[in-house]
Amino acid sequence: IAWKGNIDNSSLTSDSAYLNKLDRITQWEDKLVINHESVAQHSYKVALFARTLLEDIFGNSEVPEVMKFKVDVVTYALLHDWDEIFISRDISHETKYNEHNGEEIRKALDEYVQYAVKKEFSGDENTASYMMMCNIVSPDKEVKIFVKFCDWLAMCNFIKREISMGNNSMMGYYEYCLKSLEKAAENVKDMLLSKFNQKVEIKY
């Protein structure tokens, strides 16, 4: 990865503190939780769900469009919460999707992260890594739909584990997550049928 034109270890650990934030920023900051999950842990789970599901859906397909989609999905899954590194905290789903001004909040965050990425990669505009990081902020709609489903899977998994350990304060949020997961699954099925003429049944 090219950080400020360098690819040595010092550039990954000193010039950019963002990588270290992956382990320090925790999700569910506004909830009472027994276990704390970092952005890095959550993102890994989302990518794992995504990679596994893609294999079940497409198998070893060598169709260029499918292969590109798989790479784009896993890449976005790994970095879908990249904005939290730049703003130094997790922002709850209720805040980002609130009825009053959720859309404006998401737009402002996206614009800020685009600015921050361009500033971080200043001087590397011609590198492939620069283009990848810029595209992470606004991926293809189909990629975002698939990763969002995997994101809800990871969140439901975390909440279910909390409840199994006796954290009943998460029960209400678990119901909310399940409804969101159901809607996300329908979006994925519609998208796969439309984009790849692929009919799937999703069980979770």
Q: Where are the alpha helices (DSSP H) in the chain?
A: 9-10, 18-24, 39-58, 64-79, 82-87, 93-96, 102-120, 128-137, 141-164, 171-196
pLDDT at 68: 95
pLDDT in tens, the chain (204 residues): 444 444 444 444 444 566 677 778 888 877 889 998 988 899 999 999 999 999 999 998 999 999 999 999 999 999 888 778 777 788 887 888 899 999 999 889 888 888 887 787 777 777 777 777 766 666 899 999 999 999 999 999 999 999 999 999 999 889 999 999 999 999 999 999 999 999 998 887
Q: Please give the model's pTM, rounded to 2 decimal places.
A: 0.82
